[in-house]
């Protein structure tokens, strides 16, 4: 019988496999896709995510594949400056903030699992459709991509890392619905010359009238200094139907929102048209639930606490989940089920706060606040005429505290500041 079965070989599941391996705990990973490929767009690894990945021995490789962010800069939809702050090492953290292609991050984790655990412990084309447990263990029902049933697997414990549409979570919360507030998004990557510093994370506009998040994820991809630039377009409309994440998007579907966004420092329509492929997604999450652990089965990452993709925190929280759960299981004891309960007790409340904060007060609330103060009009003068930089910094710092990467908390995130 497998000691620990991990359902899902995404960022959370692979991080858990590596963390368990560090503690000498055996596990098997069951992933739905028949072949692992480099898919997706960009992701930002904040210092608290890098802390966990560094502890897994992956920092140097990840730094070599991405771009270290220098700054985060906020603008209104007319390209007028609102707020700037240094990021990562440049803000005094011991660890960098890295923009990277999600597929590259996943590939690093996947190869590390294959090398350390061995490929025989990773099972592809094994979609979990449900679990049944008894006093001795758990039986996983598995299905191949062609619909054919696979042989059931017995495990002592099961950790569901199968994402926002988790089949395991659905078994315990069958009536639960996705929470959608009318925000749709489109994502892509474009080859573009460096924007501002070439290491700048940009938030432009607000979701009420159109918002863009833009940051580089790879350098000199064309041999002429062009970067691979990740972008996300968002808009909130009351009564809007949800985008379908199973369908590809088209620039024409949303270009009109940003058609006049041509600034001295960036032509947004040109950036959007430069994407080789566009993906559409609804911005959805799920309401926090009272428990993740049911006997020998527990949830992790997006299966436990799916959150709006704001603040670059979803992957970070999954990776932290993995470290905490592996640590609790490594404590040993006659009852490993108790370790699942301790993990839940440590992680459920903090992640619920992030889910709620990502809905109401994410980092881009800075832009929303300034829009409200300006009456939705261009700034007549400096943003300081409406709100102080200290007040904008407080909004940013409050989010860091909730998300768990504030420099005010002593610990391994701190380092000597390089500049302020």
CATH number at 316 reads 3.50.50.60
Q: Is the dihedral of CA 360, 233, 377, 385 positive or negative?
A: positive
Q: Residue 175 and residue 315: Cα distance in Å, rounded?
A: 26
Hey, how many other C-beta atoms are within 10 angstroms of the C-beta on 120? 8
**pTM (predicted TM-score):** 0.95
195 within domain boundaries: no
372 within domain boundaries: no
DSSP 341: H
246 within domain boundaries: no
104 within domain boundaries: yes
Q: Is 266 within 8 Å of 190 (Cβ atoms)?
A: no
Which domain does 342 fall in, by range? 2-68+98-177+287-360
Q: Which residue has the tokens 């009852």?
A: 335
149 within domain boundaries: yes
Among 169-173, 272-276, 399-403, the minimum mean pLDDT is found in 399-403
**What percent of the chain is predicted at pLDDT more than 70?**
97
Token digits for 278?
Answer: 């566009």
Q: Which residue has the tokens 């939809």?
A: 77
Give the pLDDT mean for 149-172: 96
Query: Within a 13 Å sphere around the CA of 295, how many CA atoms are in the beta-carbon half?
Result: 13
Token digits for 9?
Answer: 């070989």
170 within domain boundaries: yes
92 within domain boundaries: no
157 within domain boundaries: yes
H or E element in which residue 231 lies: strand 227-236
| pLDDT tens per residue, range 355-381 | 999 998 888 899 999 999 999 999 999
Q: Is the dihedral of CA 312, 315, 318, 324 positive or negative?
A: negative
H or E element in which residue 3 lies: strand 2-7
- How many domains does the chain divide into? 1
């Amino acid at each position: 019988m497998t000691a620990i079965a991990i359902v899902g070989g995404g960022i959370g599941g692979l991080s858990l496999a590596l963390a368990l391996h560090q503690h000498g705990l055996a596990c098997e990973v069951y992933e739905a896709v028949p072949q692992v490929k480099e898919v997706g767009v960009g992701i930002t690894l904040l210092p608290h995510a890098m802390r966990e990945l560094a502890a897994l021995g992956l920092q140097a490789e990840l730094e070599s594949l991405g771009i270290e962010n220098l700054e985060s800069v906020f603008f209104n939809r007319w390209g007028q400056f609102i707020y700037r702050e240094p990021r990562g090492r440049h803000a005094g953290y011991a660890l960098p903030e890295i923009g990277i292609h999600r597929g590259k991050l996943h590939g690093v984790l996947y190869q590390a699992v294959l090398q350390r655990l061995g490929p025989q412990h990773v099972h592809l084309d094994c979609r979990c459709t449900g679990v049944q447990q008894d006093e001795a263990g758990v039986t996983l029902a598995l299905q191949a991509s062609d619909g054919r049933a696979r042989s059931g697997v017995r495990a002592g414990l099961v950790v569901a890392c199968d994402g926002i549409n988790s089949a395991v979570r659905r078994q315990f919360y069958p009536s639960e619905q996705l929470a959608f507030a009318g925000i749709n998004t489109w994502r892509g990557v474009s080859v573009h010359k460096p924007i501002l510093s070439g290491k700048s994370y940009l938030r432009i506009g607000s979701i009420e009238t159109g918002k863009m998040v833009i940051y580089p994820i790879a350098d000199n991809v064309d041999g002429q200094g062009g970067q691979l630039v990740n972008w996300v377009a968002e808009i909130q409309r009351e009564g809007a139907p949800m985008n379908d994440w199973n369908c590809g998007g088209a620039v024409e579907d949303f270009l009109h929102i940003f058609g006049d966004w041509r600034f001295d420092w960036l032509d947004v329509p040109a950036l959007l048209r430069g994407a080789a492929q566009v993906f559409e997604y609804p911005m959805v999450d799920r309401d926090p639930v009272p428990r993740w652990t049911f006997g020998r089965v527990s949830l992790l990452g997006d299966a436990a606490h799916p959150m709006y993709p704001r603040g670059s925190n979803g992957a970070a929280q999954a990776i932290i989940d993995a470290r905490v759960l592996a640590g609790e299981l490594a404590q040993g004891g006659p009852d490993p089920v108790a370790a699942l309960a301790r993990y839940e007790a440590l992680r459920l409340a903090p992640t619920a706060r992030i889910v709620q904060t990502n809905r109401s007060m994410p980092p881009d609330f800075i832009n929303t606040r300034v829009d409200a103060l300006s009456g939705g009009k261009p700034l007549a003068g400096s943003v300081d005429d409406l709100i102080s930089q200290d007040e904008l910094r407080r909004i940013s710092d409050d989010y860091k505290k909730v998300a768990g990467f504030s420099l005010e908390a002593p610990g391994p995130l701190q380092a000597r500041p390089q500049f302020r």
